[in-house]
């Protein structure tokens, strides 16, 4: 099963699928445990105090994101 990453409207990245195959790491390369989770929400606004996970702060700061994908060139 693939892992899907979807941008939510003015919110986090929603990650779903076979998360047993996901290797989520912090900036130092340390693995972040997502065992037992069927989905995770990753902060996209930068305001979460529980990074890399979303804690809902995006709503409080009025985060607005581009929703349309930008084409890849090159």
Least distance (Å) from ligand FES to the CB of residue 39?
14
Residue with smaller CB distance to ligand FES, 25 or 46: 46
Residues in region 15-44 near ligand FES by CB under 6 A: 43-44
Per CB under 6 A, the list member of 25, 29, 47, 68 interacting with ligand FES is: 47
Contact 49, 61 (CB under 8 A): no
Q: Which of 27, 45, 67, 74 binds ligand FES (CB under 6 A)?
A: 45
Q: In a 10 Å sphere around its CB, with 0-12 CB exposed, 13-18 middle and 19+ buried, how is residue 12 labelled? A: buried
Does position 7 interact with ligand FES (CB under 6 A)? The reply is no
Which tokens belong to 43? Answer: 């902060």
- Residue 59's Cβ-side half-sphere holds a number of Cα atoms within 13 Å equal to 4
């Amino acid at each position: 099963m693939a892992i899907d990453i979807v941008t939510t409207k003015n919110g986090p990245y929603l990650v779903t699928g076979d998360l047993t195959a996901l290797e989520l790491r912090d900036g130092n390369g340390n693995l972040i445990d997502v065992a037992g989770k069927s989905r995770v929400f990753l902060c996209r606004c930068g305001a979460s105090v529980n990074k890399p996970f979303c804690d809902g702060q995006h709503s409080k700061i009025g985060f607005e994101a581009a929703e349309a994908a930008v084409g890849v060139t090159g």
